[in-house]
């Protein structure tokens, strides 16, 4: 195949012998790219390509998507159920009946001995939505533990919490198309080119056409910051002070939208009173951003016809994560920037289906943003599922981060981990390891049997991955897209849905609760529960979703019947006055007093430790660490360190250094760069037994999300570089 200028230096793409292309949505990040996987004559996946008529990615894929077909036969896949009495014994191969029976019996034993909530379940943002819904029905309706959460608490909990506090419900109001309408973009703690490359491309293309100014707020000179009109290198964890100071300036200059505030919000007086304490002079001292810049960006934001904010982990992973989201929403609301094209607050989600779990898993309540605390919600779902409403708890249980503390105290004795690897992803690895060792029973369900957390399991359930299964996922802009099976799970591995349904049979002995086994049927059941809700999907089905290359919710059957619905669904939430989800239809303006409660650098630990992602890798590298074309670009852990700091410490490019925090230490390679300030370092979090050995992870009081990005460390040059290289190799899993 030839493309580009055919007369000069044509590029030839290797012919992989593809005879058939199969449709899916990408299984890595929340951008939600439509992808096709090419099969050769033998039915083997050999290529991936972007889908040209998909609105999200318009034919493009990033480095992870391009090699996604290599996932299916990557090393370490689980191919048979495994079992053992004690976690430190060797695994024994088993069969599904024995393994599922053992899992059921142990859950029952623990619950009967210690109480229903003594068994915890932690899932993921990586499964398909029908699987989340089924797991929620099994957990809430039959197993009955209230200590059930997803690893999305580690990435999106602050966004969820902030949306709920401001608007009365979770649900991102905006969409990618807003880039094409905005007159001003603020990116808070978000490095799009590396974390969400295709959203970056959408943003950049829109910016090149309209030329809107981009303001990046980030302690590090990220790739996005390098392209910004203004980069505000903020002191870690102080975003709320900047937001308050911006509002101070906006009110001071009378730039707020009084009509919008009156019509759509409550709480203006308390907010105005609070922000009087945050003048730019005092804010400059806390945030490290000079007062004139604060005034400039406040004016820029408030005077643009439509202003848009996006954010990622720089806001969410903080002790002020939820407040940071509320602060962004406050700014949007006082300037009338919710609900109009280009005026929005859009959280850029992390995992491919973090949104699906928020909508349908029942982790934080009941399906489709229903609350356990609401008697009507409990009654409605109990009736629909055919369970006793009294079986439901009356308030949500622990978050993932609290579940681990409850394991330490002995309150929780058993754990089911589904497609998540807390030994790599939770802060303070040593503490997590100790907790895992103390469990009476642990079951790990994953597509890889070689994850660090599986070391502590008594039972391993081999699951299918991504496009070995069928179902939908929701992306950052509420777009529901379809994944179709490209390949069968290897060996005896089974789709997660099959595993949940088999477990349900064991708990559902009288057969009162129905567990359909086809994803398309489950989707229609979910549709019934969505009728009239914010996330109404009654107008969708699998076939239509594939045909449309994804549909944004809400998309109702009534709209379809009346021929009203646009083909791709609801672009924006809250497009009319007073339709927020609080009882009176108004959003809340919430004052945000700032309390400095982070670990901060001191004499003993003088550097800020900032952690984050690289473009080549996905989270704990369970997948991308095994795909050669991803791993070869970033095979080892390293830090970005300021060249002046490196000189002071006698560190050269490529030297091994030891990072020490109050928790533990880690050995990494030093890469001097001006991207970080003299008192901070950046460490990618992907590598096992590395970043999270160091992190403290204090929790946000509302969202319980850890502050991964604000810990203090010291840096020691290692005298014996050869020994350090050996140690570093030993600490690497792959």
Q: Which residues bind ligand SF4 (CB under 6 A)?
A: 26, 28-29, 31-33, 57, 61-62, 64-65, 196-198
| Complex with ligand SF4: residue 377 or 468, whichever CB lies closer | 468
Q: Which residues contact 28 (CB under 8 A, 6 or more apart)?
A: 64, 65, 68, 352, 618, 623
Shortest Å distance, C-beta 480 to ligand SF4: 14
| Complex with ligand SF4: residue 64 or 702, whichever CB lies closer | 64
Shortest Å distance, C-beta 158 to ligand SF4: 21
Q: Which residue has the tokens 């379940």?
A: 121
Shortest Å distance, C-beta 127 to ligand SF4: 16
| Complex with ligand SF4: residue 198 or 261, whichever CB lies closer | 198
Contact by Cβ (8 Å): 659, 695: no
| Complex with ligand SF4: residue 598 or 624, whichever CB lies closer | 624
Shortest Å distance, C-beta 426 to ligand SF4: 23
Shortest Å distance, C-beta 663 to ligand SF4: 31
| Complex with ligand SF4: residue 65 or 539, whichever CB lies closer | 65
Residue 605's nearest CA partner among 555, 659, 530, 651 is 659
Contact by Cβ (8 Å): 185, 214: yes
What's the CA dihedral at 194, 200, 205, 209 to 10 degrees? -110
| Complex with ligand SF4: residue 198 or 463, whichever CB lies closer | 198
558 by DSSP, 3-state: which? helix
| Complex with ligand SF4: residue 64 or 369, whichever CB lies closer | 64
Shortest Å distance, C-beta 12 to ligand SF4: 23
Q: Cα separation of 344 and 323, whole Å?
A: 17
DSSP 104-122: HHHHHHHHHHH-GGGEEEE
CA atoms within 13 A on the CB side of 433: 13
| Complex with ligand SF4: residue 30 or 548, whichever CB lies closer | 30
The stretches of 348-387 forming alpha helices (DSSP H) are 354-360, 375-385
Encoding tokens for residue 449?
Answer: 């049997």
What's the CA dihedral at 374, 375, 378, 379 to 10 degrees? -150
| Complex with ligand SF4: residue 146 or 631, whichever CB lies closer | 631
Shortest Å distance, C-beta 195 to ligand SF4: 9
How many residues appear in the chain?
Answer: 734
Shortest Å distance, C-beta 689 to ligand SF4: 25
Encoding tokens for residue 437?
Answer: 């060792």
Shortest Å distance, C-beta 199 to ligand SF4: 7
Residue of minimal Cβ distance to ligand SF4? 65
Angle, vertex CA 204, rays to CA 158 and CA 682, nearest 5 = 50
Strands of 312-401, DSSP E? 344-347
| Complex with ligand SF4: residue 176 or 456, whichever CB lies closer | 176
| Complex with ligand SF4: residue 33 or 676, whichever CB lies closer | 33
Contact by Cβ (8 Å): 413, 406: no
Shortest Å distance, C-beta 55 to ligand SF4: 13
Q: Cα separation of 701 and 638, whole Å?
A: 31
| Complex with ligand SF4: residue 32 or 173, whichever CB lies closer | 32
If 0-12 CB within 10 Å is exposed, 13-18 middle and 19+ buried, where does residue 608 land? Answer: buried
Residue 714 β-bridge partners: 660
Shortest Å distance, C-beta 322 to ligand SF4: 25
| Complex with ligand SF4: residue 174 or 706, whichever CB lies closer | 174
Shortest Å distance, C-beta 415 to ligand SF4: 29
| Complex with ligand SF4: residue 65 or 550, whichever CB lies closer | 65
Residue 249's nearest CA partner among 269, 267, 272, 268 is 272
Encoding tokens for residue 651?
Answer: 């560190």
Handedness of CA 510, 515, 516, 521 (dihedral sign): positive
Residue 187's nearest CA partner among 154, 214, 222, 223 is 214
DSSP 38-60: EEETTS-EEEEEE-TT-TTTTT-
- 454: phi then psi, degrees, rounded to nearest 5: -65, -20
Q: Cα separation of 317 and 300, whole Å?
A: 27
| Complex with ligand SF4: residue 147 or 357, whichever CB lies closer | 357
Q: Which residue has the tokens 């919430």?
A: 590
Q: Which residue has the tokens 């198309």?
A: 177
Contact by Cβ (8 Å): 123, 419: yes
Residue 193's nearest CA partner among 603, 613, 682 is 613
Buried b (16+ CB within 10 A) or exposed e, 300-328: bbbebebbbbbbbbbbbbbbbbbbbbbbb
Shortest Å distance, C-beta 62 to ligand SF4: 3
Shortest Å distance, C-beta 345 to ligand SF4: 21
Shortest Å distance, C-beta 631 to ligand SF4: 15
Q: Cα separation of 724 and 525, whole Å?
A: 56
Residue 104's nearest CA partner among 507, 394, 447 is 507
Shortest Å distance, C-beta 68 to ligand SF4: 7
| Complex with ligand SF4: residue 244 or 349, whichever CB lies closer | 349
| Complex with ligand SF4: residue 349 or 703, whichever CB lies closer | 349
Residue 178's nearest CA partner among 139, 133, 210 is 210
Cα end-to-end distance, the chain, whole Å: 35
Shortest Å distance, C-beta 13 to ligand SF4: 18
């Amino acid at each position: 195949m030839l493309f580009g200028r055919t007369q000069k230096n044509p590029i030839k793409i290797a012919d992989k012998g593809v005879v058939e292309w199969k449709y899916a949505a990408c299984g890595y990040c929340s951008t939600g790219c439509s992808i096709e996987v090419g099969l050769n004559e033998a039915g083997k996946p050999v290529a991936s390509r972007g889908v040209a008529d998909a609105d999200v990615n318009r034919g493009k894929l990033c480095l992870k998507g391009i090699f996604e077909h290599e996932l299916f036969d990557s090393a370490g896949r689980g191919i048979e159920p495994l079992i053992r009495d004690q976690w430190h014994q060797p695994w024994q191969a088993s069969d599904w009946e024995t393994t599922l029976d053992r899992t059921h019996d142990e859950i029952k034993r623990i619950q009967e001995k210690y109480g229903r909530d003594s068994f915890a379940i932690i899932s993921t943002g990586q499964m398909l939505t029908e699987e989340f819904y089924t797991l929620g029905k099994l957990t809430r309706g039959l197993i009955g533990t209230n200590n059930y959460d997803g690893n999305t608490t580690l990435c999106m909990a602050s966004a969820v919490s902030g949306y709920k506090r401001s608007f009365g419900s979770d649900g991102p109001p905006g969409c990618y198309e807003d880039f094409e309408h905005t007159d001003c973009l603020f990116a808070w703690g978000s490095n799009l080119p590396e974390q969400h490359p295709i959203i970056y491309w959408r943003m950049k293309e829109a910016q090149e056409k309209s030329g809107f100014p981009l303001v990046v707020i980030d302690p590090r000179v990220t790739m996005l910051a390098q392209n910004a009109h203004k980069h505000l290198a903020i002191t870690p964890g102080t975003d709320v002070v900047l937001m308050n100071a911006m509002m101070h300036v906006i009110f001071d200059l009378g730039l707020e939208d009084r009509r919008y505030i009156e019509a759509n919000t409550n709480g203006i007086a308390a907010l105005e009173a609070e922000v009087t304490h945050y003048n730019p002079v005092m804010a400059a001292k806390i945030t490290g951003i000079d007062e004139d810049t604060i005034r400039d960006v406040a004016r820029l934001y408030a005077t643009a016809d439509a202003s848009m904010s996006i954010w990622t982990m720089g806001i969410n992973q903080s002790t002020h994560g939820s407040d940071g989201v509320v602060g962004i929403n406050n700014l949007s609301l006082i300037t009338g920037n919710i609900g109009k094209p280009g005026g929005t607050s859009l959280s850029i989600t992390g995992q491919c289906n973090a949104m699906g779990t928020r909508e349908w898993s029942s982790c934080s309540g009941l399906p489709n943003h229903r609350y356990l605390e609401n008697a009507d919600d409990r009654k409605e779902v109990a009736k629909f599922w055919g369970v006793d409403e009294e079986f439901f708890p009356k308030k949500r249980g622990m978050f993932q981060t609290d579940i681990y503390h409850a394991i330490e105290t002995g309150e929780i004795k058993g754990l089911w981990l589904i497609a998540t690897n807390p030994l790599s992803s939770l802060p303070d690895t040593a503490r997590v390891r100790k907790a895992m060792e103390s469990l009476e029973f642990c079951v790990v369900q994953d597509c890889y049997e070689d994850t660090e957390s599986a070391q502590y399991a008594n039972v391993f359930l081999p699951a299918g991955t991504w496009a070995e299964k069928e179902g939908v996922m929701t992306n950052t802009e509420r777009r529901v897209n379809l994944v179709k099976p490209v390949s069968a799970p290897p060996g005896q591995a089974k789709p997660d849905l099959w595993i949940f349904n088999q477990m349900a049979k064991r708990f559902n002995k009288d057969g009162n609760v129905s567990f359909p086994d086809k994803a398309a049927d489950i989707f229609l059941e979910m549709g019934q529960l969505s009728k009239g809700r914010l996330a109404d999907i009654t107008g969708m089905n699998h076939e239509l979703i594939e045909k449309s290359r994804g549909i944004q919710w809400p998309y109702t059957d009534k709209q379809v019947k009346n021929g009203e619905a646009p083909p791709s669904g609801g672009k924006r939430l809250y497009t009319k006055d007073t339709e927020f989800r609080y009882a009176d239809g108004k959003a809340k303006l919430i004052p945000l007093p700032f309390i400095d409660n982070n670990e901060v650098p001191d004499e003993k630990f003088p550097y800020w430790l900032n952690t984050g992602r690289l473009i080549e890798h996905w989270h704990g590298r369970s997948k991308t660490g095994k795909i050669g074309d991803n791993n070869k670009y970033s095979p080892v852990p390293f830090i970005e360190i300021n060249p002046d700091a490196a000189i002071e410490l006698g560190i050269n490019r490529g030297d091994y250094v030891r990072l020490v925090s109050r928790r533990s230490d880690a050995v990494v390679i030093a890469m001097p760069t001006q991207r970080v300030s003299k008192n901070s370092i950046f460490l990618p979090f992907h590598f096992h037994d590395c970043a999270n050995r160091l992190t403290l992870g204090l929790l946000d009081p509302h969202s319980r999300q850890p502050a991964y990005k604000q810990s203090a460390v010291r840096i020691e040059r290692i005298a014996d570089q050869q020994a350090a290289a050996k140690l570093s190799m030993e600490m690497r899993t792959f």
